[in-house]
Structure 1
Amino acid sequence: MRHRVKTKKLNRYASHRKALLNNLARSVFESESIITTTAKAKAVRPLVERIITKAKEANSTDLPERRVALNRDINKHFNDRKLVYKIVHEIAPRYENRNGGYTRILKIGYRKGDASELSILQLLPKEE
């Protein structure tokens, strides 16, 4: 039974899966759009959304200790201060009036080699 099991295993062991999801999330934040399989896009989407929500909270809090804690929490996924700065100061402010749903998955067809369904995972543009 798979009751309350949130994540797909993606045919990888736990540390490989964690590294894969962190690398996909890094790519999404660096380029703001990636092409990957639909299963991987669906698996990484909650991670990306959680990170953006933490970054929004880091921007809105008045407590410096809380801001540092949230930045460190984001940094544990990437271990890259410049990327954390980009997420907190460039990406998160775009969505300050939005409650979730920061990404979209667009299905684009099938890969030629193995017929895997491909999708584009992208961050939504800023609303005017």
Structure 2
Amino acid sequence: MRHGNDYRKLGRTSSHRKALLKNLSIALIKYEKIETGLFKSKELQSFIEKLITQAKAGDSNAHRQVFAKLQDKIATKKLILEIAPRYTQRNGGYTSIHRTALRRGDAAPMAIIEFVK
């Protein structure tokens, strides 16, 4: 049974999973819309929404906290200065996931994750 298991392991070690979420987050911040596997996008949604909530403060401490998770100066700057200010009046729900087709090679469900306008 899956009682008390809070996250998807995605078939990876903890360090690989952390790197995957970091890289997907950077790509989402850079392009504001990406297509990936459905379960990866659901994990990414939880990860990026916590980052946006931290970034909404906009102070130097928020900058440090976001950079500690992303390890990318350009993505951190864009998240704090451009993306997070859009959602100052919003309490969560910063991203949306739309299912797309099944992947041709292995029939895995694919999804597009993007920031809410």
- Give TM-score scaled by structure 1 length: 0.87
For 1:1-128, list aligned pairs within 5 A: 1-57=1-57, 59=58, 67-125=59-117
RMSD: 1.1
Name which one, 1 or 2, has greater alpha-carbon Rg: 1
Q: Deviations over 1:31-72 (max 9, x none)?
A: 000100001000111110001101112x2xxxxxxx222211
**Which residue identity lines up with residue 107 of structure 2 in the other structure?**
A
Matched pairs, number:
117
Tell me the distance in 1 between the aligned counterparts of 2:6 and 2:110: 21
Q: CA deviation at 1:3?
A: 2.7
Gaps of 5+ in 2: none
> Secondary structure at the residue paired with 1:10?
coil
Tell me the distance in 1 between the aligned counterparts of 2:23 and 2:72: 12
Work out whether residues 53 and 92 of structure 2, in 8 Å CA contact, stay in contact via their aligned partners in 1: yes
Cα distance in 2 for partners of 1:51, 1:14 equals 19
1:62 aligned partner: none
Name 1:63's counterpart in structure 2. Answer: none
Query: Deviation at 1:24?
Result: 0.7
TM-score for both structures, normalised by structure 2: 0.94
Secondary structure of the corresponding residue to residue 53 of structure 1: helix
Q: Name segments (4+ residues, structure 1) moved above 3 Å.
A: none
Q: Which moved more, 1:80-89 or 1:97-106?
A: 80-89
SS of 1:109's equivalent in the other structure is: strand
